[in-house]
Structure 1
């Protein structure tokens, strides 16, 4: 078999490609559709809510951490998921909640900001195609105007390029925008934790983490991405302690982050992750 025959053998026929293109046209229009966001302080969406810090959780570990602290948080906004996601996943049961919402401290009155901008958490537990992530990021920044952003993201060990082994240790890396070191907000930040280092070159950040990081770079916003290298789902509960320590190190004296770092919240999050891992193992 020569190289041309091998190319014909491995390359799909034009009929298959046309069918795939025809199927993709049905959902491609939703990739650019910006989902609506309803904020408690401004239902009409006249202007974005200014906030001092925006923590974005879009991984199973970080979302479990938020769910473990829901009794100490107040929902101040919600994002309507893009078409194609299962709306029936949204439920009032906090243990299996899949709603995409903004949270703040209960004492924060978002309608009358007396003590300055609040700190917010955006919880996004849904798994969406990469084509829709930039529309989600645009919806977030249309609803809020943060001075600083911290993203809790992850990447699989198969796509990780670095000197460490995810099977031997918990790997957490930091990736920043160029405005993170010069922003006045970060002057209050505590010392950088020894639990993480800068992301080695050669790694590609995709998904919602990459979309938000890119938009922060465009909008000149200080952004810190904490990237957890995940090997298997069973290690999530064990990595939770290091993820919380890294978050506290980057956030500094944030009261909102301290709520997530409380032992009660982390224990609840650990139980949630263990239950999810056990359930996925049973059904697999």
Structure 2
């Protein structure tokens, strides 16, 4: 006679997705929002250049630029503030907005130091390039994901590629931004390779709004040499009026900024 207490139950006739229909759905997340230090800023902000740093090298470089002013933050309800330091730090999970101290032009820099899911990328892109921030030109800085790259990426080689919107390629609004490409002489991202996530959503947003937008991706995702290359690129083409020579290339202990993205750390690279 079978023991009903110890016998294994028969397999369920339902698929897992069918069983999920009986579970209580999770409450929807609140929409992300922009919070400015000035309660009533002169909105909309119309920077001549909006730089959005997503990659570890770009985050490291802009974090160490002293001539910048914190003017606001992007608030995501799913990202807790607990564990963040009182002063901006590379280890924080935050998304701060800075104004570079440039007397001639308004340049905004957004340091995205938290992971943003693909489902939230479109909403975040609409906030950063929307009704409250209307940039004339946009530069997005991200890293190449090896699984999305068509070809072989050597770990000891350094690469930088770009993608541009139609307006940037055609040199529209030449009277405002200049007719030349922002990243002159840089190779285009190889055909057949894929970009996704927030970087792709931001570039698509620029394309929809006919904004001169450039996406710059670098490889490897971290390391001394890629920091030096990105810094040289910014100094030569993007921020010629700023002295970036005082920013190190990540050889000191504080350069372990890879923890922002939870990347694996090769300790030999920083010694």
Tell me whether the two structures share a fold, i.e. TM-score over 0.5: yes
1:91 and 2:85 correspond:
yes
Aligned equivalents of 1:250 and 1:24: distance in 2? Answer: 53
1:211 and 2:206 correspond:
no
Which residue of 34, 38, 60 maps to 1:37?
A: 34
Q: How does 1:94-133 map to 2 (within 5 A)?
A: 94-106=89-101, 117-133=105-121
Instruction: Please report the TM-score for the alignment, with normalisation by the length of structure 2.
Output: 0.77
CA shift digits 1:71-126 (9 cap, x unpaired): 3211112111x222232243224352333111113466xxxxxx5x5111111110
Unmatched segments (≥5 aa) in structure 1: 1-12, 109-114
CA shift digits 1:234-268 (9 cap, x unpaired): x4232111122233444264x3xx35xx1222346
CA shift digits 1:137-179 (9 cap, x unpaired): 11112331110001111122122113x5332411211100000
- Give the match's secondary structure for 1:38: strand
Comparing 13-22 with 46-55, which one deviates more in the overlay? 13-22
Aligned equivalents of 1:241 and 1:21: distance in 2? Answer: 52
- Give the match's secondary structure for 1:79: strand
1:243 and 2:243 correspond:
no
Aligned equivalents of 2:24 and 2:217: distance in 1? Answer: 31
Counterpart of 1:273 in structure 2 is 255
Counterpart of 1:165 in structure 2 is 153
Structure 1 residues 274 and 90 mapped into 2: Cα distance closer, same or farther (>3 Å)? closer
Larger fraction in helix: 1
Counterpart of 2:57 in structure 1 is 61
Looking at CA atoms only, which structure, 1 or 2, has the larger radius of gyration? Answer: 2
Structure 1 residues 168 and 148 mapped into 2: Cα distance closer, same or farther (>3 Å)? same
Instruction: Please report the TM-score for the alignment, with normalisation by the length of structure 1.
Output: 0.74
Aligned equivalents of 2:116 and 2:230: distance in 1? Answer: 23
Deviation at 1:187, TM superposition (A): 2.8
Task: Give the number of aligned pairs.
Answer: 247
- Give the match's secondary structure for 2:119: helix
- Give the match's secondary structure for 2:113: coil
Counterpart of 1:149 in structure 2 is 138
Unmatched segments (≥5 aa) in structure 2: 1-12, 267-271
CA shift digits 1:207-233 (9 cap, x unpaired): 110110000000000011111133xx6
Structure 1 residues 190 and 136 mapped into 2: Cα distance closer, same or farther (>3 Å)? closer
1:77 and 2:66 correspond:
no
Q: How does 1:173-212 map to 2 (within 5 A)?
A: 173-181=161-169, 182-183=171-172, 184=174, 185-187=177-179, 192-193=184-185, 196-212=186-202
**Maintained 8 Å contact 1:174/1:197:** yes
Structure 1 residues 219 and 279 mapped into 2: Cα distance closer, same or farther (>3 Å)? closer
